[in-house]
Structure 1
Amino acid sequence: MSTQLTQEEPPHKAEQKPDPLVPANSVQVPGLAGARLAKTFRALRHRNYRLFWTGQLVSLTGTWMQSVAQGWLVYLLTKSALSLGVVSFAQFLPVLLFTLLGGVAADRFDRQRLVIFTQSASLVQAAILATLTLTGVIHVWHIIALAFLLGTINALDTPARQSLIHELVSKEDLMNAIALNSTAFNSTRIVGPAIAGTLLGALSAWVHSQFAIETDTATRIAVGVCFALNALSYLGVIVGLLLMERHPHRKNNTHESVWRSLWAGLSYARRDSRVLALLSLMGVSSVFGFSYMTVLPLYAGEILRVGPQGYGLLMAAAGLGALSGALLLASLGNYQRKGFLLTIGNFVFPVMLLVFAQSKIFALSLIALVGFGWGLITQNALTNTLLQTIVPGELRGRILSLYTLMFMGMLPFGSLQIGALAEKLGAPVALTIGATICLGFGLFVWWRWPHVRRLP
């Protein structure tokens, strides 16, 4: 009789335990958006990640606006490629000096609170820069000092912010979340420079015509507005972080000395040839590839002669290529030939940089930067993904701080070398040398660490 009752009862699915990493009120992406779209943006079903990602869109737009405006302001004040290199050096030197300590902090303390603190500090930095610029007292040494301050903040912020993503989504959505984070970074890389370029061109022209002041002064006012808007944009990510549902912070071993913690991360990276190869690719690409941004104002002003609007479009073109690459990666899901796709990106971006270096045609330069952006983000995002897949969870903050060190910490050397070479040999020769080195190192990795291109 009991058997009959069991057969008559409707079947029940096995009870599933909730994932502690997923907020209770996570929502599913609507089916009306289509299966492909739902797959591409599936990490957004988690409320905490949606808040984080939306805040990033607002904040990163302002960050890119400030990056464009700051480069143009330095060029306006000095007309010097070396000065552009010095400012970039000052901004990224603290990442070289302090980012490993930032990784230790990310593994020890509450990452959510740590990111709230760093984003608030960035807001203050942007507000000071805006005030000095709008009041007309700005000098290059002010920009250098404030760039160093922002770099110090970023050294703490970046490892914590990247490690925080792991706490906002379920395990199966982690790779998609990383790709969507790259999508946010690169979509704002299009929008931010475009807004900044428009403000630098249109707003400065309006101020010049309405108030009959010098063109350089009008441009400085437009630059100050970009800085002020960036300060306001930080509120987006701060509010998003404050609205998140809190989870108990799991403390790691804080009794271990800072130096022992640092050494544990470094030793792991040195022993694992996969990690060593991936980090080496990032370092070389940063020094000799991504440093192209240092001389981009020089290209816009003196080689292509397209002014601040064209400068914004050049920045946006690289962002468009990177955005397309990030969206492609997000749509691939758990793609099983990540190493091979990473290798393609590693070869594409230096070839496109070589084309850009020799181009004197604005349209060709835009096309080359689109290809450059696609190749670079394909390499960088897959490096981030593979590192998070390879390393154990207790070392995640420290290994990601090494990733940050290679990506951002090496930029001071890249900025200095390309600024000095451009000053003596010209920007096209400087870029050609850097692109050739990137391509050569890619071939070396192909030969020395063939297992990298076979990573799943």
Structure 2
Amino acid sequence: MSTGSGADSAPAPDTHDPRDTPAGPAAPDRTARRSGMFSSLKVRNYRLFFTGQVVSNIGTWMQRIAQDWLVLTLTASSAAVGITTALQFLPMLLFGLYGGVLVDRLRKRPTLLFTQSAMALTSLALAALTLTGRVEVWHVYVAAFATGLATVVDNPARQSFVAELVGPGQLHNAVSLNSANFQSARLVGPAVAGLLITGVGTGWAFFLNGVSFAAPIAGLLMMRARELHAVTPSPRGKGQLREGLRYVAGRPELLWPIVLVGFIGTFAFNFPVYLSAFADDVFHGGAGVYSLFNTLMAVGSLAGALLAARRGTARLRLLIMAAVAFGALEIVAAGAPTLWLFALLMIPIGLFAMTVNVTTNTSIQMATDPAVRGRVMALYMMVFLGGAPVGAPIVGWITDTYGARVGLATGGAIAALAATVIGLVLARVGNLRLSVGWDGGHPRMRFVPRTTDGAGSNGMAGAPAPVPAGAVGRGGTHRS
């Protein structure tokens, strides 16, 4: 099935704005911020995609809970649950970059039809084994690994396809609504899974997840190909993986946000380790308190995603500020003396965590040539998703050795320090300096150009973190 009508690559947004410094790009499409929180849903193709994801994401969260519970029931081993999770993430760590190369060579819609169908069949096979009483733990391991293999291609294809659905002007809003969609499912899916597991068994949770893939598949089939902002697939060639890595390495506006997400994902996003330790060892509350912490964080994450959709821009300056605030709040939460204060802090922590997530995702997509977007998004997702499994043993050892408060404070300090250092690096790359002054009787700090020419001195009040001149151009102009 074709994803378009022979259209050439859709151009990336023009990032020039006279109010910005010569060293840095402007925020993409400034009209987006006034277009409404749900403006991208006016696009029919995206509305179909979004609706399908609502159903599928709930099913995905149901399967996550049911899968872990089934493994625990079969083995009575937490280590076996960890192995299942590792097997699901392992393909992304091993083959994530190759998945990005493949995505750039293929049309996104038929690729997603294949990956979504593969994941549906995997869930239905696991459901059949469970409902007939023949399931063994190795079946779950194989299903987790197979799902991970499909995700290697599905994840970058899905991330890149959003730009083809809405175009550059609505990309930030669409990415934000996708995150809100996922967080909403996070509030519903586990609850439904719990009812199914206790009422009729884990097999029905797997079955319903398999059936839920019918919604995104139907949405993909109903889309109007002529309305897609189609990107011409890259021809097969040698060295495309190295080309993608060189592309990122030569662009600070891509490289440094990915590095920042790597630090945060590895050391600060390991909430299963931190929150379970606080629930059990610090506040002695058990599973109910752990669930409360996760629910409140999901509420904050949903609010962060909706605010990002309303904001309509993706500035790197906002990314740095949100990352610093996220790390600082983790440090504050580490010292919270009471359970309820700690629980309430989960809301702003979730909000700033989602702001980091959405801003990074959107700014990377907006600054990337569509011809290499699959490879760039694969690298981003590999770093983001791969960081937690790598960091979990490290933060787990710190938490076990020195206590939950020290573990959480360490993660927050690393996030805040990494954001500060990377913010200064980006400022230096853009030839900026820190200016401290007074505005209306209040102190104000901002980065301003070191040279005060007409264009540069006027724009830094609202400019994003800087990048070298010409680093981001229109789609189709960059080939590494």
TM-score scaled by length of structure 2: 0.74
CA distance in 2, matches of 1:137, 1:420: 37
CA distance in 1, matches of 2:63, 2:126: 10
How far the C-alpha of 1:193 sits from its partner, in A, is 3.0
The question of whether the paired residues in 2 share the 8 Å contact of 1:84 and 1:295 is answered with: no
**In the alignment, which residue of structure 2 is the partner of 1:256?**
237
Is 1:169 the counterpart of 2:166? The answer is: yes
Query: Which stretch has the larger CA shift, 130-139 or 312-321?
Result: 130-139
Which deviations, in whole Å up to 9, do the C-alpha atoms of 1:169-191 show, x marking residues without a partner? 13322222122222212222222
More helix by share: 1
- Aligned to 1:391, the other structure's residue is in SS state coil
**In the alignment, which residue of structure 1 is the partner of 2:94?**
97
Query: Which stretch has the larger CA shift, 48-57 or 349-358?
Result: 349-358
**In the alignment, which residue of structure 2 is the partner of 1:397?**
374
Which deviations, in whole Å up to 9, do the C-alpha atoms of 1:404-429 show, x marking residues without a partner? 11111333313443455556666555
Amino acid at match of 1:125: T
The question of whether the paired residues in 1 share the 8 Å contact of 2:54 and 2:182 is answered with: yes
The partner residue of 2:394 within 400, 417, 420 is 417
**In the alignment, which residue of structure 2 is the partner of 1:326?**
305
**In the alignment, which residue of structure 2 is the partner of 1:242?**
221
Amino acid at match of 1:262: L
Distance 1:299 1:137, change over 3 A: farther
Q: Please give the root-mean-square deviation of Cα atoms over the aligned residues, in Å.
A: 3.4
- Aligned to 2:213, the other structure's residue is in SS state helix
Distance 1:314 1:62, change over 3 A: farther
Query: Which stretch has the larger CA shift, 81-90 or 282-291?
Result: 81-90
Alignment map for 1:312-391 (pairs within 5 Å): 312-334=291-313, 338-356=315-333, 362-391=339-368
The question of whether the paired residues in 2 share the 8 Å contact of 1:191 and 1:316 is answered with: no
Amino acid at match of 2:159: Q
Count of equivalent residues: 404
CA distance in 2, matches of 1:75, 1:417: 24
CA distance in 2, matches of 1:311, 1:373: 15
CA distance in 1, matches of 2:300, 2:310: 16
The question of whether the paired residues in 2 share the 8 Å contact of 1:326 and 1:381 is answered with: yes
Distance 1:354 1:374, change over 3 A: same
Distance 1:150 1:444, change over 3 A: same
Is 1:455 the counterpart of 2:452? The answer is: no
**In the alignment, which residue of structure 2 is the partner of 1:5?**
none
Distance 1:145 1:416, change over 3 A: farther
Alignment map for 1:166-245 (pairs within 5 Å): 166-197=163-194, 199=195, 204=198, 222-245=201-224
- Aligned to 1:334, the other structure's residue is in SS state coil
Distance 1:400 1:50, change over 3 A: same
CA distance in 1, matches of 2:76, 2:417: 32
CA distance in 1, matches of 2:334, 2:76: 20
The question of whether the paired residues in 1 share the 8 Å contact of 2:34 and 2:312 is answered with: no
How far the C-alpha of 1:264 sits from its partner, in A, is 1.1
Query: Which stretch has the larger CA shift, 287-296 or 247-256?
Result: 247-256
Query: Which stretch has the larger CA shift, 225-234 or 92-101?
Result: 225-234
Which deviations, in whole Å up to 9, do the C-alpha atoms of 1:257-282 show, x marking residues without a partner? 2xx11111100111112211100011
**In the alignment, which residue of structure 2 is the partner of 1:146?**
143
How far the C-alpha of 1:388 sits from its partner, in A, is 1.7
The question of whether the paired residues in 2 share the 8 Å contact of 1:92 and 1:410 is answered with: no
The question of whether the paired residues in 1 share the 8 Å contact of 2:101 and 2:240 is answered with: yes
Is 1:279 the counterpart of 2:268? The answer is: no
How far the C-alpha of 1:430 sits from its partner, in A, is 4.0
Distance 1:383 1:140, change over 3 A: same
CA distance in 2, matches of 1:78, 1:69: 14
CA distance in 1, matches of 2:397, 2:116: 33
TM-score scaled by length of structure 1: 0.77
CA distance in 1, matches of 2:330, 2:175: 26
**In the alignment, which residue of structure 1 is the partner of 2:115?**
118
Amino acid at match of 1:193: P
**In the alignment, which residue of structure 1 is the partner of 2:63?**
66
The question of whether the paired residues in 2 share the 8 Å contact of 1:115 and 1:161 is answered with: yes
> Identity of paired residues, percent?
37
The question of whether the paired residues in 2 share the 8 Å contact of 1:194 and 1:316 is answered with: no
Is 1:437 the counterpart of 2:434? The answer is: no
Distance 1:405 1:20, change over 3 A: closer
How far the C-alpha of 1:323 sits from its partner, in A, is 1.2
Amino acid at match of 1:59: S
The question of whether the paired residues in 2 share the 8 Å contact of 1:75 and 1:297 is answered with: no
The question of whether the paired residues in 1 share the 8 Å contact of 2:232 and 2:371 is answered with: no
Query: Which stretch has the larger CA shift, 38-47 or 124-133?
Result: 124-133
CA distance in 1, matches of 2:357, 2:75: 33
Query: Which stretch has the larger CA shift, 172-181 or 348-357?
Result: 348-357
The question of whether the paired residues in 2 share the 8 Å contact of 1:107 and 1:397 is answered with: yes
The question of whether the paired residues in 2 share the 8 Å contact of 1:65 and 1:196 is answered with: yes
The question of whether the paired residues in 2 share the 8 Å contact of 1:179 and 1:326 is answered with: yes
Gaps of 5+ in 2: 1-6, 11-31, 431-446, 448-462, 466-480
The question of whether the paired residues in 1 share the 8 Å contact of 2:164 and 2:231 is answered with: no
**In the alignment, which residue of structure 1 is the partner of 2:22?**
none
CA distance in 2, matches of 1:278, 1:20: 25
How far the C-alpha of 1:124 sits from its partner, in A, is 2.2
CA distance in 1, matches of 2:357, 2:276: 24
CA distance in 2, matches of 1:20, 1:253: 10
CA distance in 2, matches of 1:96, 1:386: 23
The question of whether the paired residues in 1 share the 8 Å contact of 2:107 and 2:233 is answered with: no
**In the alignment, which residue of structure 2 is the partner of 1:213?**
none
**In the alignment, which residue of structure 1 is the partner of 2:457?**
none
How far the C-alpha of 1:331 sits from its partner, in A, is 0.9
CA distance in 1, matches of 2:337, 2:82: 22
Query: Which stretch has the larger CA shift, 36-45 or 300-309?
Result: 300-309
Which deviations, in whole Å up to 9, do the C-alpha atoms of 1:65-114 show, x marking residues without a partner? 22234345555666766555433322212111112112112211111011
CA distance in 1, matches of 2:393, 2:92: 15
